[in-house]
Structure 1
Amino acid sequence: MIGLIRALFGFLRWLGPERASDLGGWLLRSVSPVIPVNRVALANIRAAFPQMAEDEVRRIARGAWENLGRTAAEYAHLNTLFDYDDDNRDAPSRVEVDGIEQFIALKDDGKPGLIFSSHLANWELPAICAAAYKLDTTAVFRAPNDPAIAAIVHEIRSGAMGGLAAAKQGAAFAMQGVLEKGGHLGMLIDQHFTRGVVVPFMGRPALTNPILGKFARRFECPVHGVRVIRLPHHRFRLELTPPLDLPRDANGEIDVQGAMAMMTAVVEGWVREHPEQWLWMHRRWRPNLIAAAKGGDAPIMTIQPVFKAT
């Protein structure tokens, strides 16, 4: 199995980044109507945009599948995909960076820092950008379920990024160690987390991992958001926000749930701006679990589930 996957990645490398991206995008866009989880994507889009015409809902879903296919094919080129040169900003490049001064400030401030992101466009690029600018950053990632694919993806990531921390049991201790040494953590925050805090997202409550809010409270360190936008002609834009002014409780400490709600609101703005570039196939909203997390509060039960929780 791993030999077959290596052969596939070799073929994608032979194609080059542009043709590989086009092939992956075309393939998933073409087959998406018959992929069962496409029903989840359509239901999520309809619930997030209840006034949207059905043709537009399906256009966004097809675009999301195309983006996923492009991103998957681009894994074969992660070590060369980021070609931005800050010393020669006028040189042709497939990547442009908006907010590079924020990266530089993070590198030089002598403090730990937190960076949140989401599954938009090619979400691997921020970690590659940080490594290119020698920003001491550890990216928290979730390995693919298939062991063969996970091994190859980890090999590719290791060659293109800085530190890596797998999201698994005990990972919080490793993440804390990074911050204690003055390093930086980057993490995607737009997926369901069963033991999370409830925050609003796209008009519905969602369970979100509170770890970045907890670290922000403990270390009083800057928290930035970074997103990737897929542009025409196989190009990308990376945007790093200024540090967020996170909400605080009556004691003046960062409020964890409020902090996660603020970060999630930033992500929501990104998704609403480019909905066809987000991962709608994920079961982000799970009303039954949210009701249980809140003790079965009646207001949560008024929300209509868009799919059955398993």
Structure 2
Amino acid sequence: MKAKSRPPTLRDRAANATFRGLLAVANSLPYERRIPAVGWIMSHMVAPLVGWNRRVRENLRLVCPDLPDDEIRRLVRAVPDNVGRTMIELYSGEDFISRVRDLPIEGPGAETIDAAHRAGRPVILATGHFGNYDVARAALIARGYRVGALYRPMKNTLFNDHYVRTISQIGTPLFPRGRKGMGEMVRFLREGGMLGLLMDQHMGHGVPLRFMGHPARTATSAADLALKYGADLVPIYGVRQPDGLNFRIVTHAPIPHSDPETMTQAINDSLEDIVRQHMDQWFWIHRRWK
């Protein structure tokens, strides 16, 4: 039996109304002004209020204890800026899709993705909260690839409703975490679909693997699915470019099938590699290490 959603609280309603107001103002601006404007608001106004500045500093001090203070100060601003840009890009609909739809798929995993598409073979696209994590999905769907994504429903149902509608504009299917969503996701994979999974959040039931030099509980779901359904497992990232508006889609080498822990550690290593190249593009606001 499906559990009933928690009814929205007054705080939920206020937060959703504020967010919708921000969206209305932002979407009245041209795309090239809209994206940096929301990035600035997030980094200079929202992040200090919600405690992101402190969390970014704490995470950086943990994994990069020798990082100079001036670089930490830069990242404290740059990380929420990227989060804000990502958020408003997802809410920009066709403006965002048209910007990324024709981007080439670069790197050693690109051929594997294309071959799987032509053969109707399933693929797990492993990524993280880095750059803009929906760039690759948008570009592949625009090419005619069958790409689905698993998402975690938000506690604020008002926000969740319009967020799901928004990311559905990029493409479907979308599978909510839970029994029903997992069943639909498995059928999609069996039919040769491609599935995007975000692999970089703390999972209490996960395996204590390494990420950025420290133990980080990580779900082995991507590897489990790849092994069970014979899917290729390819790390893929939407890397924001220096102008703050454009992207490259970068793949790493497909991860060989072995065992779930070895394969999941390889996903963590892949993400760590690209994060260390672009420190300001990973969501250091997460409570990744607990």
Shorter-chain TM range is 0.7 to 0.9
Match runs of 1:268-287 below 5 Å: 268-286=272-290
Residue type matched to 1:13 in 2? N
Structure 1 residue ranges without an equivalent (≥5): 87-94, 249-254, 287-310
Aligned to 1:143: 153
Aligned to 1:304: none
Matched residue SS, 2:262: helix
CA deviation after TM superposition for structure 1 residue 12, in Å: 2.3
Matched residue SS, 1:269: helix
Taking structure 1 as reference, are residues 78 and 143 closer, same or farther at Cα in structure 2, changes over 3 Å only?
Answer: farther
Aligned to 2:32: 18
CA deviation after TM superposition for structure 1 residue 199, in Å: 0.9
CA contact (8 A) 1:5 1:148 kept: no
CA contact (8 A) 2:27 2:92 kept: yes
| 1:195-251: CA deviation from partner (whole Å, max 9, x where unpaired) | 1112100010111111111112212221111101111231111112342224x2xxx
CA contact (8 A) 2:129 2:283 kept: yes
2:104 & 2:192 partners in 1: Cα distance?
27
CA deviation after TM superposition for structure 1 residue 48, in Å: 1.1
Residue type matched to 2:27 in 1? R
Aligned to 1:261: 265
2:93 & 2:127 partners in 1: Cα distance?
18
CA deviation after TM superposition for structure 1 residue 61, in Å: 2.1
- Who wins on radius of gyration, i.e. which is larger? 1
CA contact (8 A) 2:175 2:182 kept: no
Residue type matched to 2:282 in 1? W
Matched residue SS, 1:74: helix
Residue type matched to 1:107 in 2? H
Aligned to 2:23: 9
- Aligned identity (percent) is 27
| TM-align CA RMSD | 2.1
CA deviation after TM superposition for structure 1 residue 7, in Å: 4.7
Q: Is the counterpart of residue 198 in structure 1 residue 212 in structure 2?
A: no
Structure 2 residue ranges without an equivalent (≥5): 1-12
Aligned to 1:47: 62
Aligned residues: 271
Residue type matched to 1:47 in 2? L
Matched residue SS, 1:195: coil
